[in-house]
Amino acid sequence: MVIKDKKKIFTYIAVSLISIVYLLPFVWLLATSFKSFAEAFSIPPTLLPREFHPENYVEVFRRIPFARYTGNTLLITLSSVVGILISAPMAAFAVSKIKWKGSKFLFPLMIGCMLIPIQVTLVPLYVTFKKMGWIGTYLPLIVPAFLGGGLGGGYYIFLLRQFFLGVPDSLIESAELEGASTRLIYWHIMLPLSKAALITVGIFMFLNTWSDFMGPLIYLTRDTMYTLGIGLQAFLTSHHVEWHLLMAASVLFSIPTLLMFFFAQKYFIEGAKTSGLKF
């Protein structure tokens, strides 16, 4: 009994310490965002702000076109979410519930693509998009989602396929006996039954696109079209860094993802269990 108690106490101390270490950067982020310029650079530094400057958050909108960047990011993100929610479930359905020759080699292909470094397709994709006049538009960032999501799309297909496999075949067979077409079965049986999986895919796609940096960096040319990620990076390199403002901007940038996490935690845990690494 004594050994068990000791183990419990040790566990509590360890997890509490790790939690503090993991949460401290958030404290630092929030604290800096409310500090004055002078206090952010005071020596020695203060952990918590001596006086609160919520107007930092307003100043962010004056210093960089924050509202515009937010709108741009939201446009790209929501379009991509719609795209993946159309193309990934279709592909997942084809390799789980339709009995045809293609599914045997298509599914491993979809998964195998995730092992290919994106650099391998980077240059030719840029050249192709350039020929099509798509550079400097949002199309290279959005269109691939409607066509399976590119190299990383296998993750979403995998997640949905796992879920579809759990839907009993008897349900589909009885619908077929009543004369329902495959399209009807997909639309009226599979999709409504798979809401949880669809939400998970939508959330993870949202986070991935919202946080994407390399795509916008390569394809966006005009600063009026920048996403938040690119805008904040430009803020870092073009000014004498005002850390209190940059931290306030980072907080605003992170709010949608954090909110999503708190309101949809169970979907996160499910999605993370399936992949363990990607969003």
Partner 1 sequence: MRSGCKTTDFRNGFLFSLPWLVGFFLFILYPIIQSLYYSFTDFNLFQAPGFIGLENFRELFTDDLFYKSLYNTLYMTFLGSPVYIVIGLLMAVLLNNKIRGLAFFRTAFYIPYILPIVATALLWVWLLNPVNGLLNMFLRAIHLPAPNWLADPAFTKVSLILIGAWRTGPIMILFLAALQDVPKTLYEAADIDGAGIIRKFFKITLPALTPAILFQVIMQIIVNLQYFTEAYIISGSTDRLNQSVGGPLNSLMFYATYLYQNAFLYLKMGKASAMAWVLFLVAGTLTFIVFKSSKKWVFYGD
Candidates 19, 52, 67, 171; binder of partner 1 (CB under 8 A) is 19
CB of residue 75 to partner 1, shortest distance in Å: 17
Residue 277 binding partner 1, by CB under 8 A: yes
Residue 224 binding partner 1, by CB under 8 A: no
Residue 75 binding partner 1, by CB under 8 A: no
Residue 9 binding partner 1, by CB under 8 A: no
Q: Select from 27-35, 54-62, 64-72, 194-202 the region that touches partner 1 (CB under 8 A).
A: 27-35
For partner 1, the closer CB: 67 or 73? 73
Residue 55 binding partner 1, by CB under 8 A: no
CB of residue 255 to partner 1, shortest distance in Å: 10
Residue 101 binding partner 1, by CB under 8 A: yes
DSSP assignment of the chain equals -HHHHHHHHHHHHHHHHHHHHHHHHHHHHHHHHTS-HHHHT-SSPPSS-SS--TTHHHHHHHHS-HHHHHHHHHHHHHHHHHHHHHHHHHHHHHTTTS--THHHHHHHHHHHGGGS-THHHHHHHHHHHHHTT-TTSSHHHHHHHHTT-GGGGHHHHHHHHHHHHTS-HHHHHHHHHTT--HHHHIIIIIHHHTHHHHHHHHHHHHHHHHH--HHHHHH--SGGG--HHHHHHHHHHHSS--HHHHHHHHHHHHHHHHHHHHHTHHHHHHHHHHHSS--
Binding track over 232-251 against partner 1, x by CB under 8 A? xx--xx---x-x--xx--x-
Query: Position 177: which residue type?
Result: L
CB of residue 62 to partner 1, shortest distance in Å: 19
**How many residues lie near partner 1 (CB under 8 A)?**
109
CB of residue 50 to partner 1, shortest distance in Å: 15
Residue of 65, 44, 63, 47 lying closest to 55 (CA atoms): 63
Residues of this chain, 102-161, that bind partner 1 according to CB under 8 A: 102-103, 106, 109-110, 113-128, 130, 144, 146-151, 153, 157
Q: Select from 39-47, 52-60, 74-82, 192-200 the region that touches partner 1 (CB under 8 A).
A: 39-47
Residue 164 binding partner 1, by CB under 8 A: no
168 is written with which tokens?
A: 């009993």
